[in-house]
């Protein structure tokens, strides 16, 4: 299996991703959308996310997609293209964007599943193109020129990490 | 796989606690959850069986502060230790930036530790991660029990490369934060090399 490369996102990448997610959220008439890395980290979101605890949602969605992928392989399938959870008031549509990211679409009573599936398919291609570009670009934090949108992180010392933990 | 978001000035790292069944992986996370300030932690999610054995994973997000102006988040995961959850263990290692191997110090668990470490190396390789390069810290847990293997024997069996290691009694919180700090340091050093 190919390793997952580190993901580095700059201001301009996030603007493109956010524009794409907002358009999908609007056109799919969904309540909210999360874009999640396959290792479980939230990359970006759109829609009504204020009441959502997005960090564990992202982690659990990644776990769910990973389990679905493993189930598919056990059954001789390459993958299951999406996972759907159907609740009384809310529904979740999870799908893979290439091998790199997961799209979580939260549907409410105003959303239509067929519309969501159609729009997700359409926008997945666009998202996949963005991630292909990101994966081809070398990590340029310290190598590239530092700018307001690409500030170098600088040297990280053991004391920096110690300070994170305080006296704990 | 670390995720650096320059737009939001965030660094996100995934740390996985690995080890044989009942070695104390979940206990480590429970102690961290108990001790960290409420504002610096999210919910502790445990996907466990009715008997409180880990079924899929435990998850604890920590946001402890900033380094060089970047919010630094550590996402802590445990794997299920029981032998028959092998498929789940493999999935959780995906994208890991660092691993804490929690060994059970009891004499009768030596073989289980060795087997689990071999299993971990195999699964890391399956995920495209070089087991000799990923940041790794060992924790020798349950040092308070009477029937423990001497440290030098554990070192010979589990830590031939002499990676950072800690004695611990996770149920009392001993060694828990020392281990977490150590893996955080190694992971951040690696991250710095890459950026």
Contact between residue A83 and residue A64 where contact means Cβ atoms under 8 Å apart: yes
pLDDT computed for residue A143 by the predictor: 42
Nearest to B100 by CA among B186, B179, B191: B179
Summarize pLDDT for B30-88 with one digit per residue, the tens: 999 999 999 999 999 999 998 889 999 999 999 999 998 999 999 999 999 998 898 99
pLDDT computed for residue B72 by the predictor: 95
pLDDT computed for residue A141 by the predictor: 43
A-B CB pairs within 8 A amount to 149
pLDDT computed for residue A114 by the predictor: 94
Structural domains of chain A sorted by starting position, each given as residue range(s) with its CATH number in brackets: 11-165 (3.30.450.30)
Phi and psi dihedrals of A18, rounded to 5? -65, -40
Summarize pLDDT for B168-191 with one digit per residue, the tens: 999 999 999 999 999 999 999 998
From first to last of its 168 residues, chain A has per-residue pLDDT tens of 555 567 889 999 999 999 999 999 999 999 999 999 998 999 999 999 999 999 999 999 999 999 999 999 999 999 998 999 999 999 999 999 988 899 999 999 889 999 999 999 999 999 999 988 888 876 544 444 445 555 567 788 989 999 998 854
Picking from B5, B45, B72, the nearest residue to A56 by CB comes out as B45
Summarize pLDDT for B84-126 with one digit per residue, the tens: 898 999 999 999 999 999 999 999 999 999 999 999 999 999 9
Dist CA B142 CA B140 (whole Å):
7
Picking from B1, B91, B191, the nearest residue to A70 by CB comes out as B91
pLDDT computed for residue A2 by the predictor: 52
Percent of chain B predicted with pLDDT > 70 = 100
- What is the torsion angle, in degrees rounded to the nearest 10, for the CA atoms of residue B159, residue B162, residue B167 and residue B170? -60
* CA-based nearest residue in chain A for residue B189: A156
Nearest to A94 by CA among A30, A51, A47, A6: A30
Dist CA A102 CA B183 (whole Å):
27
Quick one: B84 exposed, middle or buried, by C-beta within 10 A (0-12, 13-18, 19+)? exposed
Contact between residue A115 and residue A19 where contact means Cβ atoms under 8 Å apart: no
pLDDT computed for residue A140 by the predictor: 45
DSSP string for residues in B97-161: SEEEEEEE-BGGGHHHHHHHHHHHHHHHHHTT--TTTS-EEEEEE-TTSSSBPPHHHHHHHH-TT
CA distance B4 to chain A (A): 5
Q: In this complex, do B7 and A4 lie within 8 Å of one another by their Cβ atoms?
A: no
Topology, domain B3-194: Rossmann fold (3.40.50)
Asked whether the predicted pLDDT for residue B5 surpasses 60, the reply is yes
Picking from B94, B96, B185, the nearest residue to A161 by CB comes out as B185
Picking from A4, A67, A155, the nearest residue to B91 by CB comes out as A67
Q: In this complex, do B75 and A41 lie within 8 Å of one another by their Cβ atoms?
A: yes
Dist CA B19 CA B24 (whole Å):
8
Contact between residue B102 and residue B111 where contact means Cβ atoms under 8 Å apart: no
Distances (CA, A) of A122 to A17, A74, B15, B45: 14, 29, 34, 33
Half-sphere exposure of B192 (CA within 13 A, CB side): 16
Interface test with A, best of B7, B32, B173, B191 (most A CBs within 10 A): B7
pLDDT computed for residue A142 by the predictor: 41
* CA-based nearest residue in chain A for residue B8: A11
| Separation of CA B106 from chain center | 19
Phi and psi dihedrals of B165, rounded to 5? -140, 155
Chain B environment of A60 (Cβ under 8 Å)? 45, 59
CA distance A145 to chain B (A): 12
The helix or strand, by DSSP H or E, that contains position B165, with its residue range, turns out to be strand B165-167
Contact between residue A110 and residue A89 where contact means Cβ atoms under 8 Å apart: no
The helix or strand, by DSSP H or E, that contains position A94, with its residue range, turns out to be strand A91-97
Q: How many residues does chain A have?
A: 168
């Amino acid at each position: 299996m190919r390793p997952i490369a580190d993901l580095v996102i700059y201001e301009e990448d996030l603007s493109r991703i956010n524009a794409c997610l907002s358009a999908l959220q609007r056109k799919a008439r969904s309540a909210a959308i999360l874009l999640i890395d396959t290792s479980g980290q939230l990359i970006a979101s759109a829609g009504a996310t204020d009441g959502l605890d997005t960090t564990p949602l992202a982690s659990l969605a990644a776990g769910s997609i990973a389990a679905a992928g493993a189930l598919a392989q056990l059954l001789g399938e390459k993958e299951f293209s999406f996972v759907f959870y159907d609740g009384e008031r809310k529904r979740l549509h999870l799908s893979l964007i290439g091998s790199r990211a997961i799209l979580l679409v939260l549907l409410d009573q105003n959303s239509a599943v067929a519309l969501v599936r159609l729009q997700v398919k359409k926008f997945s291609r666009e998202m996949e193109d963005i991630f292909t570009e990101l994966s081809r670009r070398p990590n340029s934090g310290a190598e590239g020129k530092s700018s307001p949108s690409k500030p170098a992180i600088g040297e990280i010392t053991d004391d920096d990490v110690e300070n994170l933990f305080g006296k704990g | 796989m670390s995720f650096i978001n320059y737009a939001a000035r965030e660094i996100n790292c995934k740390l996985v606690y690995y080890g044989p069944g009942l070695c104390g992986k979940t206990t480590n996370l429970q102690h961290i959850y108990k001790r960290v300030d409420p504002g610096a932690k999210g919910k502790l999610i445990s996907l466990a069986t009715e008997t409180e054995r880990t079924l899929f994973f435990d998850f604890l997000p920590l946001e402890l502060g900033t380094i060089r102006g970047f919010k630094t988040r550590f996402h802590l995961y445990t794997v299920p230790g029981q032998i028959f959850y092998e498929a789940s263990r493999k999935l959780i290692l995906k994208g890991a930036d660092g691993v804490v191997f929690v060994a059970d110090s009891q004499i009768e668990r030596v073989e289980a530790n060795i087997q689990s470490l071999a299993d971990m190396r195999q699964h890391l390789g399956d995920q495209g991660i070089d087991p000799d390069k990923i940041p790794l810290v060992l924790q020798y847990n349950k040092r308070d029990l009477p029937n423990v293997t001497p440290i030098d024997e554990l070192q010979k069996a589990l830590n031939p490369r002499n990676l950072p290691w800690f004695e611990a009694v996770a149920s009392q919180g001993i060694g828990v934060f020392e281990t977490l700090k150590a893996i955080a340091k190694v992971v951040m050093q690696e991250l710095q090399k890459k950026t």
